[in-house]
Amino acid sequence: MNRRRFLADTAAVAALGLWFRNGLGAQTAPAGGGMPAVAMPGTQPAALKTEFRMLRRNVGIFTGRGGTIGWLATSEALAVVDTQFPETATLCLAGLPERGERMIDVVINTHYHGDHTGGNGVFRPVAKKMVAHAAVPELMKARAIRDKKPVEDLVIAETTFTETWSMALSDEVVSAKYFGPAHTKGDIVVLFEKANVVHMGDLLFNRVYPVIDRPGGAKIASWIGVLEKVTKEYPADALYIAGHAGEGRDVVLERGQLLVLRDYLSGLLEYTQGQITAGKAKSEIVALENLPAFPEFHQKLPNRLGSNLGVAYDELTEGKG
């Protein structure tokens, strides 16, 4: 399938409203690969936009609905990082450069959330191997049980690791590393070593209030440290792929932009601790509309700041009476 045909098919699928199956059409994806926004009652979600974009040395990204998909595509090797949802996974698989009818050498999940693993079932039949951190299977199963969904329907990586993993693919090496709990307790960083492209999954949100999954093992203080470690671990000229970006923002960043999220998370803890010290109740703290000093993160209500503040409050007060 050529690129023109692929884009035409994408538009046709959106026009036919196939995105509304299984209740998935209640969200729309903003430009730049941002987090889906909930459609207001009585409004029609915007048509889905998808894009393949080459970055460096046969490594690129696919944006559609959900977390950014990274890929390596050559005549000798194919790799995919994250899988979005079934509908967009199908489009990604159909348009993946260089694929034809070939098997994909490896599919990697950066963490367990459904907008990064929901398309696993689409990719699994054509993937030789599926890889994730060792915490991902248990987190996926726990989430399914919590949501009262059949655990047996989950498509889970069969290859897992706790610290590091790597695989040679023709003239590229794909590696992954665990830096500790952050967005969840099972997030990994994936590196395309020769291309010098780093896929961060949801360890990186660009100028938008992040998801902080405390039930999934998130720790804000540790996330701050993880971001600092990552900036020291990889080359200065690396490109970083974010899981999500705010409206009009890019999901591909340079190292100089990486610590903006670190600063936000630090500001979140500082603000919350100040409010706790001032004797404010949790209900008062989480009512804040937007965090001062971070205007680039500002969003109209409802936004995720209240949830972020609630997690910060729980983390700071844990074990203190």
Q: Is 48 left (phi over 0), alpha (psi -120 to 50) or beta?
A: beta
Q: Report the mean per-residue pLDDT for the chain.
A: 88
Confidence of residue 203 (pLDDT cuts 50, 70, 90): very high
pLDDT in tens, 103-114: 999 999 999 999
Burial of 150 (0-12, 13-18, 19+ CB in 10 A): exposed
The answer to whether residues 313 and 282 touch, using CB atoms and an 8 Å cutoff, is yes
Confidence of residue 116 (pLDDT cuts 50, 70, 90): very high
Q: What is the pTM of this model?
A: 0.86
Q: Which domains does the chain have, with CATH numbers?
A: 3-317 (3.60.15.10)
Q: Which residue has the tokens 């599926």?
A: 130
**pLDDT of 26 strictly over 60:** no
**pLDDT of 168 strictly over 80:** yes
Which H helix or E strand runs over 272? helix 255-277
**pLDDT of 65 strictly over 60:** yes
**pLDDT of 14 strictly over 90:** no
Degrees (nearest 5) of the Cα angle 153, 159, 161?
120
Provide CB contacts within 8 A for 246, sequence distance 6+: 30, 32, 34, 206, 207, 208, 296, 297, 299
Residue type, 55: L
pLDDT in tens, 66-93: 999 999 999 999 999 999 999 999 999 9
Q: What's the average model confidence in pLDDT over 240-266?
A: 96
Q: Where are the beta strands (DSSP E) in the chain?
A: 27-28, 37-38, 51-56, 59-63, 69-73, 78-81, 106-108, 130-133, 159-161, 164-169, 172-177, 189-192, 197-199, 205-206, 239-241, 244-245, 252-254
> What is d(CA 176, CA 32) in angstroms, rounded to the nearest whole number?
25
pLDDT in the model for residue 31: 32
**pLDDT of 38 strictly over 70:** no
The answer to whether residues 20 and 38 touch, using CB atoms and an 8 Å cutoff, is no
**pLDDT of 299 strictly over 90:** no
Degrees (nearest 5) of the Cα angle 62, 244, 218?
125
> What is d(CA 222, CA 226) in angstroms, rounded to the nearest whole number?
6
pLDDT in the model for residue 52: 98
Least confident of 2-16, 17-31, 129-143, 220-234: 17-31
